[in-house]
Amino acid sequence: MSGLKSVWVFHVDSGSCNGCDIEILDVLTPYYDAERLGIKLVPSPRHADALLVSGPLTRQTYYAVKAAYEAMPPKPRIVVAIGTCASSGGIFYNGYPIYNPNPERGSDRLRTGGIEVLLAEYGKKPDMYIPGCPPSPEEILYGLAQLLGLKEKKMKGEYYYADEIEFVLPERPIEERIYLTLRESLRRVVGYFDREKVLEDFMALVEKAQESENPRERLHELVIGYFLREKDSRVKFAIRFLENEYWRLKDAYEKRHLALVKAGVR
Ligand code: SF4
């Protein structure tokens, strides 16, 4: 972007905690005086050369950020990810409110949270990442100065290739894996507060069901009993969810395990 003499920027908050926004505002105040570098804040994305994005991309803000990006003139359409959240999701990585490009539910579908997820739809990547939680005004200015070609990068990225990596499959019993996956999925159903209790109750039912000759049928009976006794509709939903997920995961893990044994990996 070194051809640019000045850059008009539009700031969009894609779900930040406001930490980064405060630092961006600082940069634009007379104290740091970004205008001396030709960086000017504009009130509409239609006039902007660059979009300064702060915060993780949430389900709520996805459409607003997309609209702002599309409203910008097609060239140069620069995007600067400000802060760790906009760069990679930061502390919100794979969180519940993060925009998920894949509508299929499942713990293997990570919600990264960076602005990259939106730009990938246009086959693009952010032009500049300014990480930090939040980055200081000096760091933001330094990044923008690099974007304008006023400053050279002091550090350069390098790729590191290990000579030989021994691939070791983690040894974890299937039941433990199922438990961890259920725990992860359950927070999307009943939230953090209730999940431990429901999961604990469900695992006790599983243990009981395993003593019988037909654990699948027995577990179903036990779950129905629990369902009828329970008053909270969210917990009722959660226990049925757990039953379905449990068998889905168990079947999938056992199938995979058999395939590994057959291939001689286990
Ligand atoms: S990077 Fe830190 S300060 Fe910025 S939005 Fe994320 S949590 Fe907040």
pLDDT at 197 over 80: yes
**Ligand 1: does its nearest atom lie under 6 Å from the Cβ of 180?**
no
pLDDT at 181 over 90: no
Q: What is the pLDDT of residue 194?
A: 79
pTM here is: 0.61
State which amino acid sits at residue 248.
R
Longest dimension (CA), the chain: 78
**Which position has the higher pLDDT, 227 or 188?**
227
Query: What pLDDT, in 10s, does the model give residues 61-110?
Result: 999 999 999 999 998 999 999 999 999 888 988 788 888 776 555 555 56
pLDDT at 4 over 80: no
User: Distance between CA atoms of 33 and 53, rounded to whole angstroms?
Assistant: 19
Least confident of 39-43, 80-84, 95-99, 189-193: 189-193
Ligand 1 mutation pick, 11, 13, 14, 16, max ligand atoms within 8 A of CB: 16
Q: What is the pLDDT of residue 139?
A: 93
Q: What is the mean pLDDT of the chain?
A: 86
Q: Closest ligand 1 atom, CA of 16? A: 5
Q: What is the pLDDT of residue 66?
A: 95
Per the listing, tokens 């600082």 go with 26
3-state secondary structure of 127: coil
Q: What is the pLDDT of residue 74?
A: 92
**Ligand 1: does its nearest atom lie under 6 Å from the Cβ of 133?**
yes
pLDDT at 50 over 90: yes
DSSP state of 110: -
DSSP state of 225: H
Q: Which residues of 15-50 are buried (b: 16+ CB within 10 A; e: fewer)?
A: bbbeebbebbebbbeeebebeebebebeeebeebbb
How far is the centre of ligand 1, averaged over its atoms, from the C-alpha of 95 (Å)? 14
Q: What is the pLDDT of residue 186?
A: 86
Query: What pLDDT, in 10s, does the model give residues 120-166?
Result: 999 999 999 999 999 999 999 999 988 888 877 777 777 777 666 66
3-state secondary structure of 250: helix
User: Distance between CA atoms of 242 and 146, rounded to whole angstroms?
Assistant: 51
- Best-predicted range by mean pLDDT (101-105, 218-222, 248-252): 218-222
User: Distance between CA atoms of 251 and 162, rounded to whole angstroms?
Assistant: 36
How far is the centre of ligand 1, averaged over its atoms, from the C-alpha of 113 (Å)? 12
Least confident of 36-50, 151-165, 176-190: 151-165
Q: What is the pLDDT of residue 177?
A: 82
Q: What is the pLDDT of residue 1?
A: 59
Q: What is the pLDDT of residue 104?
A: 56
Phi then psi dihedrals of residue 50, to 5 deg: -135, 145
Say if residues 122 and 94 touch (Cβ distance below 8 Å): no
**Which position has the higher pLDDT, 264 or 236?**
236
How far is the centre of ligand 1, averaged over its atoms, from the C-alpha of 263 (Å)? 46
Nearest CA among 52, 18, 72, 25 for reference residue 147: 52
Query: What pLDDT, in 10s, does the model give residues 112-129?
Result: 788 998 999 999 999 999
**Ligand 1: does its nearest atom lie under 6 Å from the Cβ of 83?**
yes
**Ligand 1: does its nearest atom lie under 6 Å from the Cβ of 51?**
no
